[in-house]
A and B are shown apart, each in its own frame.
Chain A
Amino acid sequence: MWRCLIVEDDAENARYVAEGLREHGHVAVVCRDGMEGLQRAVSEAWDLVVLDRMLPNEVDGLAILSTLRNLGKKTPVLVLSALSALDERVRGLNAGGDDYLTKPFAFSELMARLEALMRRARSGPEVRELQVADLRVNLVSRSVERAGTAIALQPREFRLLAYLMTHARQVVTRTMLLESVWDYHFDPQTNVIDVQISRLRQKVDTGFSPALIHTVRGVGYLLSDTGEAAVE
């Protein structure tokens, strides 16, 4: 269970995010004013802050973020914004944001990103080898094997698989893959990521059991031996 602070002036949007988080069993507190948001963000302990970029009155999202970081707080912060321009994203991340999501967004996208943030915040020391069931990925020698059989992957396929493995038992969305594996922040019109995944699946899952790469309808993908996401 996470304690989440949502600083968002739009009532509908705040309710949408808060209810979604509560449905997943988390605690969500909503602040609709920048000043109050700043006070609560600084004075209480949170696992996670969802911050709207533009807030009414003097204090805007980035100001809260910088204050938080200047106080040395490392709470993961996801910045929400209706400003989609890339330099706005860069400003959001430079100010200390851990991730940036443009409105309108699907709750599943937000949830997947929050999961990834929490995972990253708790991640231990640098790992050299990842394993899920009988699939092993060596990050140093960049080799992949399943049930003892080596699998040849192209460089980009390897990065794709490595990302899925690092986020094993966790739903990742198409945009997350596009952002982390290709470092692209635009939306290709065609379903290129789906096709990339199905090719990877061909190489990793065909002829092996159980299937590891699963499609989560309307959200994205999941690499898991049970076919289910881990429950926090």
Chain B
Amino acid sequence: MSAVPSLRGPWRSVAFRIALNYGLLTLFFMAVLLSIVYFQTVVGQRHHIDRQLTLASQRLAARFAQGGAEALAEQIGINLADGVDSDSEVYLLQGPDDRRMAGNLPAAAHWRDLDDSISSQAATRGGQPARLRVLARALEDGSLLVVGRDLRDQRQVELAVGRATLAAGLVALLLVIVGAYLFRLDIETRVAAIRRTAARIEAGELHQRIPGADQSDEFAGLSQDINRMLDRIEDLMAGVRHVSNTIAHNLRTPLSRVLLRLRQAQRPGAPLEEMREAAQTAVREIEDLTVVFDKLLQIAEAESGARRHGFAPLALDDIATGVVELYDALAEAQGATLALATDDAAVVRGDRDLLASAVANLVDNALKYGGRAGGPAAVQVQVERRNDTARIVVRDNGPGIPAAERPRVGTRFHRLPHDPVRPVPGYGLGLASVMAIVHLHGGRVQLSDAGPGLVVAVELPALEA
């Protein structure tokens, strides 16, 4: 872990910020919901009280209209004694002289100041200050009827709801913070695994892979992608190492030969003839090296993909025809046959020169190896269109390539086991170049057995003709 600088401070963690932001959003929604609940409970309750007050006042006024002040006072007495809501019910019948005639509220002149709507008032009940909801009604005989409700219970409910809301909010906030930390911890563990692996790879341990890629979540997916990329990079590195080794070998061998010859020719008293010969050999060897260099550069160029911007629609017919017209004289001179079958529907996007070079390589090989199985070489070049694929197939009647050798074919400088009697000239770069060119064009090379002979099929994505 020491190689990976840790993420300092919770705010620098994306996971923490995401979890926290999400938690705060949840908290906000919760607050909104709780306010609605609070509002509904408290305000609803208040409306209910007001309605009851209005009803009670009307009922008592009707009683007064029926039986006068005595009947009203009696009814108030009954109401207060019936045991229903007697804690919170408040009544007052105040005579014209502002004396209390009935009820449980002290008489006071200021009750007369109330208009006929319901309002909240402060009062003293049983020696205790209280808040009341009251409705005053002036009666015909000059007395005043006050109906009210002590808001103490209501207050209790409001307080209870408020406390519950606050408690719920605090618990939620706590959960959000703890959740954010846990979430962050989990993400950080997963990320740390990736970062650790990256750090090790940076330090040169290219075989390292991210653990836990066998799970099925997003991080496992990411880990799998990275692991696959690492596999590919490792392959490429191995390839590069192999190539540099083989290049070094293939260049150093002729170079040391040249040096040896030149040094020998340089020694005092060497005959002129030998010097001239040494110079000739040197020129020939260096020319050969130049060819190898050109071919390696061509492969590298194809592999880099730089040529793709020059791609244009091409008929494979034209390419095959051009190459066959280049090699027909050679085939004739060797007593070989070189046949061409065309199909004008095989059109691809590509680089004419590169594709021609690839086909030339294949035809060259086919003519070289075709005659090795006894009898003259018979080479067939066939252009065809199969659904979305445009193909150039080069078929020979040579010894073919054993199935076990096929995967290694196309590696730079890889050559088939030599026939010691009649070695085939070449550098072992032909098929490597063909494969690089075909890959550049988004196609593939398939080798199969013609029994006897080799079939090389170059398959390229076809364009609509």
Which residue in B301, B322, B426 is a CB contact (below 8 Å) of A85?
Answer: B301
Segment at the interface with B among A49-57, A122-130, A139-147, A185-193: A185-193
A196 and B356 contact, Cβ closer than 8 Å, known pairs A85-B301, A87-B310 = no
**Chain A CB within 8 A of B290 CB:** yes
- Of residues 393 to 438 in B, which have CB atoms within 8 Å of A's CB atoms? 425-427, 430
Which residue in A86, A187, A199 is a CB contact (below 8 Å) of B329?
Answer: A199
Q: Once the chains bind, are B307 and A192 in contact (CB under 8 Å)?
A: no
**Beta-carbon contacts of B284-310 to A below 8 Å, as 1s and 0s?**
000000110010011001000011011
Cα A189 to Cα B352 with chains together (Å):
18
CB distance from B116 to the nearest CB of A (A): 98
Q: Once the chains bind, are A188 and B360 in contact (CB under 8 Å)?
A: yes
Q: Once the chains bind, are A87 and B297 in contact (CB under 8 Å)?
A: no
Neighbouring A residues of B360 by C-beta, 8 Å: 184, 186, 188
CB distance from B68 to the nearest CB of A (A): 117
Cα A144 to Cα B42 with chains together (Å):
113
Which residue in A86, A104, A186, A199 is a CB contact (below 8 Å) of B332?
Answer: A199
Which residue in A84, A189, A196 is a CB contact (below 8 Å) of B326?
Answer: A196
Neighbouring A residues of B306 by C-beta, 8 Å: 85, 87
Neighbouring A residues of B322 by C-beta, 8 Å: 182, 184
Closest partner residue, chain A, to B304 (CB atom): A85
Q: Once the chains bind, are B329 and A192 in contact (CB under 8 Å)?
A: yes
Neighbouring B residues of A90 by C-beta, 8 Å: 310
Q: Once the chains bind, are B353 and A192 in contact (CB under 8 Å)?
A: no
Q: Once the chains bind, are A192 and B294 in contact (CB under 8 Å)?
A: no
- Of residues 306 to 362 in B, which have CB atoms within 8 Å of A's CB atoms? 306-307, 309-310, 322, 325-330, 332-333, 351-354, 356-357, 360-361
Neighbouring B residues of A85 by C-beta, 8 Å: 297, 301, 306-307
- Of residues 169 to 195 in A, which have CB atoms within 8 Å of B's CB atoms? 182-192, 195
Q: Once the chains bind, are A84 and B297 in contact (CB under 8 Å)?
A: yes
CB distance from A73 to the nearest CB of B (A): 29
Closest partner residue, chain B, to A189 (CB atom): B364
Q: Once the chains bind, are A182 and B297 in contact (CB under 8 Å)?
A: no
Neighbouring A residues of B326 by C-beta, 8 Å: 156, 182, 184, 188, 192, 196
Cα A216 to Cα B4 with chains together (Å):
69
What would be 25 A-B contacts, judged by CB atoms less than 8 Å apart?
Answer: A84-B294, A84-B298, A85-B297, A85-B306, A86-B354, A87-B306, A87-B310, A155-B325, A156-B325, A156-B326, A183-B353, A184-B353, A185-B353, A186-B298, A186-B356, A186-B360, A187-B294, A188-B360, A188-B364, A189-B426, A189-B427, A192-B326, A195-B330, A195-B332, A196-B326
Query: Which A-B residue pairs are the 6 nearest by beta carbons?
Result: A186-B357, A156-B325, A199-B329, A195-B330, A195-B329, A196-B329
Q: A184-B326, A186-B354 are in contact. List 18 more A-B contacts (CB 8 A).
A: A85-B301, A85-B306, A86-B301, A86-B353, A86-B354, A87-B309, A90-B310, A182-B356, A183-B353, A186-B356, A186-B360, A187-B294, A188-B364, A189-B364, A189-B427, A190-B368, A191-B330, A192-B330
